[in-house]
Structure 1
Amino acid sequence: MNPISVIVTTYNWPEALTLCLDSLFAQSDPNFEIIVADDGSSANNLEKTRRYGENGKIPVQYVHHEDQGFRAGTIRNKAAARANGDYLLFVDGDCLMRPDFVETHRRLAEAGCFVPGNRILLSRAFTDRVLGERLPLYSKPWLYFLPLRLLGKINRISALMKLPLGRLRHLQPAKWQKAMTCNLGVWKNDFIKVNGFDELFEGWGYEDSDLVIRLIHAGVRRKEGRFAAPVLHLWHPHHDKSRQDVNYRRLLERLEKQDLTMAEKGISQYLSPSLIKSKALA
């Protein structure tokens, strides 16, 4: 497989993003690029992370647009359009990846499949400690997390287990629930085939579910990434959910239309027509 493109979504939280980048710089598989998809951070915060990324072991690109509210789907489309890899790994800038994260996703990648991983949520107080001490939590051994779970500093430990599930990973090929872009792998040609994220989903909520539903409608199957490639998700306040109901109604409409695969307003606006055609036919 050619280099993977890891797309990291962020917004005005350089302390979390730099620790996220640290976890990516520590990967056992170095054959990937990082594209920071910045959804409107201030000039000062953008400059902080740009400078930090210059010193990393992995090449870092930055894609940024103006702050016009939560537009995660839009900035991810712009980043994916710049990606050099054949395989896209979507993560969030408030997530920490274990050292074998890229290696494991590369092993799980399979033609005609998307791969959602899972996550471990940190408590608010523990997140403050991790950021304050620049704690390399991503490199800690499995047993380190056991007392954290007992003390309520993380919400689970089972996600760290590595299970050789084999064919069981294909058990629910049409399941869209709990597939989130804080940990999602998809082939770039499949992503382009469904026109990426639909930018009509503005504000927080369901743009990732919509993508996955359209992938399934297009014949791309779910391959389970649980018990293989978790992320450690830092605590953060809830996003503005004023658009949640509108987005959810749109999602329900998409669910009913089995023949709907293409985003109405997607990645095609950032790609050349020849690239769209070649990827769609790949």
Structure 2
Amino acid sequence: MKSKISVCILVKNAQNTIKECLESLKSFDEIILLDNESSDDTLKIASEFQSKFDNLKIYSSEFIGFGALKNLAISYARNDWIFSIDSDEVLEAKAIDEIENLSLNPQNIYAMPRKNLYKGQWIKACGWYPDYVLRLFNKNQAKFNSNFVHESLESKDLNIVKLKNGLRHYAYNDIYSLIEKMQRYSTLWAQQNSGKNSSIFKAVLHGGFKFVRDYAFKKGFLYGYKGFVISFCNALGAFFKYTKLYELNSKKPSVSLIITTYNSEKYLEQVLKSVQNLDYLPMEVLIADDGSGVATKNLIERFKSNFPCKLRHIWQEDKGFRLSQIRNKAINSAVGEYIINIDGDMILEPNFILDHLKFAKKKQFLQGSRVVLDESQTGFIIQGGDTSEIKNFKSKRNILLANLIYKSSAVRANFFKKRDFIKGIRGCNMSFYKSDCDETGGFNENFIGWGREDSEFVARFLFSGGELRRLKFFGIAYHLYHAENSRAMLEENHQIYLKTIREKRVKWR
């Protein structure tokens, strides 16, 4: 072939088609074969071909997505012109002659018609025909996108030129191979589109529409049982794409619930009892203990014997109020993806964990609801009373109000251009992804004594690119009454907070 063209092929377990594919390409200047961990005789067949034709070069890679794999194969090519072909395709002789006679223009991408075969029969229906695919291009002008599946060429203002001759595509040999590929591609598609909206209704709608379109409007009925099988499997593919995406989006991160405490056994006992009554449990509960005595240790040991999830005691020596340090120790020790932090005087409503997870997002600090109890209500709870008997407007779960407040409460770093203090930041009920916390270095351990450690953490969280959202009427916890902590260090701590704002710090050290 007079034109210097490099052929790029991805292969994985293609022993049935790779020989015919390579034979159709032997006249090209260079063939790059990138193997994706084949376990059959694909590489053996390719090596036998290589012993006869030195234009074949064989490389290997783990699966990194089809788009990325194709770009990797192109990076090995020595020529600017690339011909991309799949391992189950064969370039027809007339197409080789047509390419040979082209005056290749870098501003063009050349598309080829493809004959899609099922059990050896060319199917001109079911959405398989006509099927033009972009295959010949200049690598300096175009490349593949990074899609895991359904990758495509990206280019700027290039012309698409359709050739007359093209490829024979051994799409599927039987129902098994059709279903197998459909399952794999639908899984990759769901992973690629993670986070996008999906529902079972959308899955049914897309699947039903796909079958009607391919079998009726795309004339699959003209091909007997083959047309029905193809149309039905196409519909299943659409259904499973959206179903798998729905399940993937519904997958909950693992949760570590951190409870801070200091010599408050009677309150901590009520908190742990409320954890036992949760409708959805965290994977672990960590008691972040800022130096309590043996009574707290004994209480935790007593609960461990029949606690419904893993219960761990993270303790540090009592050297004064060092809340940030003990929080960091607990967070660093946590194995969950998502951190929910409460104080040891917060009684949890049964839906507490589920409510936080419903609104959990990466790069988001979530401030949960606090229902403040008075002294008599607190006594009622400690004596065995149920929080459901406490009549308080704020204690009523309301998804409509929760959504409204959540959507309207976003606070980002630009807040600090006009103001320097965000009201209502309370560490007694908050949640975030552990990985996002790690980016900030955790809580600022320069804070000694009560005050501003939560606000300063949120400020750095926002400067790291995160946002604050408020959760009201959801994620409810009841705050037991007690005497307020000493505010002796508040002014000094406030100055640490203001310095973080001025310097727009992300990490505290």
Q: If the length of structure 2 is used for normalisation, what is the TM-score?
A: 0.47
| 2:500 paired residue among 243, 254, 260 | 254
| 2:427 paired residue among 169, 181, 194 | 181
Which residue of structure 2 lines up, in the alignment, with residue 163 of structure 1?
399
AA of the residue aligned to 1:254: T
Give yes or no for the alignment of 1:237 onto 2:486. no
Contact residue 109 and residue 115 of structure 1 kept, 8 A = yes
| 1:85 paired residue among 320, 328, 336 | 336
Give yes or no for the alignment of 1:18 onto 2:269. yes
Give yes or no for the alignment of 1:217 onto 2:217. no
Highest relative contact order (Cα 8 Å, sep 6+), 1 or 2? 1
Which residue of structure 2 lines up, in the alignment, with residue 269 of structure 1?
none
Q: Secondary structure at the match of 2:390?
A: helix
Give yes or no for the alignment of 1:126 onto 2:377. yes
The alignment's C-alpha RMSD in Å is 1.7
In 2: Cα distance, 1:45 partner to 1:87 partner: 26
AA of the residue aligned to 1:256: R
Q: Secondary structure at the match of 2:399?
A: coil
In 2: Cα distance, 1:46 partner to 1:118 partner: 29
Q: Secondary structure at the match of 1:223?
A: strand
Over 3 Å counting, the alpha-carbon distance change for 1:97 and 1:63 in structure 2 is same
Q: Which stretches in structure 2 are left out of the alignment for 5+ residues?
A: 1-251, 416-421
AA of the residue aligned to 1:158: K
Structure with bigger gyration radius: 2
CA offset at residue 167 of structure 1? 6.6
Give yes or no for the alignment of 1:145 onto 2:396. no
Contact residue 54 and residue 60 of structure 1 kept, 8 A = no
Contact residue 14 and residue 49 of structure 1 kept, 8 A = no
In 2: Cα distance, 1:112 partner to 1:4 partner: 16
Over 3 Å counting, the alpha-carbon distance change for 1:81 and 1:161 in structure 2 is same
Over 3 Å counting, the alpha-carbon distance change for 1:216 and 1:130 in structure 2 is same
In 1: Cα distance, 2:385 partner to 2:268 partner: 13
The number of equivalent residue pairs is 248
AA of the residue aligned to 1:163: I
Give yes or no for the alignment of 1:263 onto 2:508. yes
Deviations 1:8-52 (A, max 9, x none): 000111111111011111111124310000111012332222222
Which residue of structure 2 lines up, in the alignment, with residue 58 of structure 1?
309
In 1: Cα distance, 2:273 partner to 2:254 partner: 19
In 2: Cα distance, 1:31 partner to 1:249 partner: 36
Over 3 Å counting, the alpha-carbon distance change for 1:98 and 1:253 in structure 2 is same
Contact residue 257 and residue 282 of structure 2 kept, 8 A = no
Structure 1 segment 84-103 matched on structure 2, within 5 A: 84-103=335-354
In 2: Cα distance, 1:100 partner to 1:188 partner: 21
In 2: Cα distance, 1:118 partner to 1:31 partner: 18
Which residue of structure 2 lines up, in the alignment, with residue 135 of structure 1?
385
In 1: Cα distance, 2:317 partner to 2:373 partner: 30
CA offset at residue 254 of structure 1? 1.6
Q: Which stretches in structure 1 are left out of the alignment for 5+ residues?
A: 150-156, 265-282
Contact residue 198 and residue 207 of structure 1 kept, 8 A = yes
In 2: Cα distance, 1:83 partner to 1:136 partner: 30
Contact residue 338 and residue 434 of structure 2 kept, 8 A = yes
Over 3 Å counting, the alpha-carbon distance change for 1:214 and 1:89 in structure 2 is same
In 2: Cα distance, 1:11 partner to 1:31 partner: 22
Contact residue 159 and residue 226 of structure 1 kept, 8 A = no
In 2: Cα distance, 1:93 partner to 1:166 partner: 27
Which residue of structure 1 lines up, in the alignment, with residue 439 of structure 2?
193
The answer to which structure has the higher strand fraction is 2
Q: Secondary structure at the match of 2:378?
A: helix
Q: Secondary structure at the match of 2:278?
A: coil
